[in-house]
Amino acid sequence: MKQENIETPKPAWLKVTYDQKKVDRMNKLLSGLKLNTVCAEANCPNLGECFGNGTASFMILGPNCTRACRFCDVPHGHPKPVDLSEPLRVAQATKKLGLTHVVVTSVDRDDLPDLGADQFVRTIHALREITPKTTIEVLTPDFQGQTDCLDKIIAAKPDVFNHNMETVRSITPKVRHRATYSTSLSVLKYVKEHATPKTFVKTGIMLGLGETDKEVYTLMDDLRAVNVDFLTIGQYVQPSEKHYKLHEWVPIERYQKYYHEAKARGFKFIASSPLVRSSYKAKEELMAVYGK
């Protein structure tokens, strides 16, 4: 498979426009509350659309990650101590923005005894108290596969539990040197087996890393074997020359093919197109399943 250079002209679909004034307003509000969003920290291509529509995915536990995955643009470094006032600020921002669905994610915090699980729980509880009608999705790290951490979040009953597989088995060790395919799959399996039936389990993958059709289909089969409900599929965009090399801009037709393959395997909801990211249109995804 031909490996693209980062300087290769980007396809037309990657060029997006948005209302800068709405984005500036959102940035001002979040900055005032001293909150981070994965939208900004990871340079998401949908930042303009989501901020323009008054939605955001809050990134708790600080902007610095203890890991350095080769595909990710989130800064790597020594994190600061846990901010116990952060959950309340997330809830306050959610209420002020009038969000009906909120996504809470985090960097990896391998430096903490609880690996960050308690802060997720505190945030869920704060949201339930201040804006009880808002549905909640958590996008978590793998917590090193520790089930005691998963049990805490399961007990808090988020509406959606999301943990990303990121890529197929053969490529995982190349881009996630401190994580494994098996651990991520076991996280999804454990949550599905132990969470309330009202909690949907979700994962996402990137294309363009060098994966084959067969590998993608095997990944889908692995996910359905542990009863994962939702699947998102999007294009990998290489952040810089230092990151994992982009292998190709995947054509739209392949996303459509994967959508139909995933649908045939029984996923409750699939989002498959180049600009799809884990949290993109998360509200619409949940509403589709609820039939609203």
Binding-site residue ranges for [4Fe-4S] cluster: 39, 44, 50, 65, 69, 72, 279
Burial class (CB in 10 A: 0-12, 13-18, 19+), 291: exposed
The answer to whether the beta carbons of residues 275 and 46 sit under 8 Å apart is yes
Helices (H) and strands (E) in the chain, counts: 11, 8
Asked whether the beta carbons of 70 and 102 are under 8 A apart, the reply is no
Please state the residue numbers annotated as binding site: 39, 44, 50, 65, 69, 72, 279
In this structure, the dihedral spanned by the alpha carbons of residues 228, 140, 179 and 79, taken in order and rounded to 10 degrees, is 180
- Cite the beta strand spans of 86-211 per DSSP E: 101-106, 135-139, 160-162, 200-207
* 3-class secondary structure, 106: strand
Between CA 17 and CA 275 the distance in angstroms is: 13
